[in-house]
Amino acid sequence: MGLVEEYADPYIGGALGLHGEAMILEGFARKQFVMHGRNTRTFGDREWTYSEHDLDFIFERDGVAYGIEVKNTLGYMDYRELQIKIALCQEIGVRSVFAARMLPRTWINEIIGAGGFAVDPEVPVVSVDSSRSSEEGAGSPRVASGLSAGPRGWDDGTIRAMARGERVIS
């Protein structure tokens, strides 16, 4: 129980959050995504006005914008917050990306159903393969080639898969 209490400390949680954000920032920059905002709720001429919620980052590449929410904590994020962030992304015209250490499978399915991504930097990345026919298992999860676990997975695999338009799940 001591380890859980240690990681629940606000100072530790804050440090984990900053580390997660730094990992995301570096990974997207290395893959030449352009950052359009940090801690923002606007993109272009569109603004989220229904609450004070915002996104950690907005990146764009090849004409596709991504609203990034980083949750590098041991527990689940608040479900209502997840729903609000999905709605925020839809309202301002960006694809939602939840970089979270832990998300229930049903939440991941909800994110994917809304056209977004759910990724965990600590596990291998799996993509939904829509290139195969139904006999070959179209739509079934598969490990995307060349993806690795940990921070390098963000840099070398996850972000590259997103740039190719693959649906990334963990």
Residue 96 maps to which CATH number?
A: 3.40.1350.10
Contacts for 159-163 with beta carbons within 8 Å, 24 or more apart? 159/27, 159/28, 159/30, 159/31, 159/33, 160/31, 161/125, 161/127, 162/66, 162/97, 162/117, 163/31, 163/33, 163/61, 163/62
Which carries the bigger pLDDT value, residue 102 or residue 41?
41
Total domains in the chain come to: 1
According to the model, what pLDDT value does residue 133 have? Answer: 45
- b/e map 19-48, b = 16+ CB within 10 Å: ebbebbbebbeebebeebbeebbebeeeeb
Q: For residue 47, what are the domain limits?
A: 2-169
| The overall pTM is greater than 0.75 | no
Span 97-125, average pLDDT:
80
